[in-house]
C-alpha cells in the first residue's frame, strides 16, 4: 500500500511544470518508473499532454525534483534541471532554437531570473545577467564580437539603457 501511495505521488510530482509559467500538467506517458525504499522516485521518461518531455526524472523525499533533460514544445532544451521545494529552479544549460544558450540559470519564486552566462546567436555574450520581475535587465559585463566590452549595464523596461563602464 505504501509503495502504491509513493508511486501515485511520484506520478503527480512528474506533472509539475518546469518553465514558461507552466502549472501542473497531466502526464500522458511515464516510462521506466522505479520507487526506492527511501521514497526516492525515478522515471526514465515523462511525456506530458502539452508536448513537454522530461528525461531522467527524479523526485527526492525532501521534495526536490530533478530532470537530466527537459524538452519544451517551443523547441527549447534544458539540461540538469533542479526544482527545490520552495519553487526555486536551477538549470545548468538552456538551448534555444535560434542558437542562443544560457548557463547556470536560476529562477527564483518571485520571478527573478539569473544567468551566469548567456551566449547569443549574433556572437554577443552576457555575464551575470539578471532579469527582474518588472522586466529590468542587469548585466555585469557584455562582450561584443568586435571586441567591445561594457560593464554594469542596466536596461529598463522602457528600453532606456545605462552603462557604468566601458
- The pLDDT of residue 134 is above 60: yes
Span 63-82, average pLDDT: 97
Name the β-bridge partners of 155.
137, 161
pLDDT in tens, 91-116: 999 999 999 999 999 999 999 999 99
Predicted local confidence at residue 164, as pLDDT = 84
Who wins on pLDDT, 71 or 24? 71
Give the helix/strand (H/E) hosting 123.
none
Q: What are the pLDDT digits (tens) for 77-89?
A: 999 999 999 999 9
Give the 3-state secondary structure percentages of the chain, helix then strand then coil, rounded to 5: 10, 50, 40
Residue 3 has pLDDT above 70, yes or no: no
pLDDT category, 26, cuts 50, 70, 90? low
Amino acid at each position: 500500500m505504501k509503495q502504491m501511495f509513493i508511486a501515485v505521488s511520484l506520478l503527480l510530482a512528474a506533472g509539475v511544470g518546469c518553465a514558461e509559467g507552466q502549472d501542473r500538467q497531466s502526464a500522458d506517458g511515464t516510462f521506466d518508473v522505479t520507487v526506492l525504499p527511501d521514497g526516492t522516485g525515478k522515471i526514465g521518461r515523462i511525456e506530458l499532454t502539452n508536448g513537454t518531455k522530461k528525461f531522467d526524472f527524479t523526485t527526492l523525499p525532501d521534495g526536490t525534483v530533478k530532470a537530466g533533460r527537459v524538452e519544451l514544445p517551443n523547441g527549447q532544451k534544458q539540461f540538469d534541471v533542479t526544482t527545490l521545494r520552495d519553487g526555486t529552479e536551477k538549470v545548468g544549460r538552456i538551448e534555444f532554437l535560434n542558437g542562443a544558450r544560457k548557463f547556470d540559470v536560476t529562477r527564483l519564486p518571485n520571478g527573478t531570473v539569473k544567468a551566469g552566462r548567456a551566449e547569443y546567436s549574433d556572437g554577443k555574450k552576457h555575464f551575470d545577467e539578471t532579469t527582474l520581475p518588472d522586466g529590468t535587465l542587469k548585466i555585469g559585463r557584455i562582450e561584443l564580437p568586435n571586441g567591445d566590452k561594457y560593464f554594469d549595464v542596466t536596461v529598463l523596461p522602457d528600453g532606456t539603457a545605462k552603462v557604468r563602464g566601458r
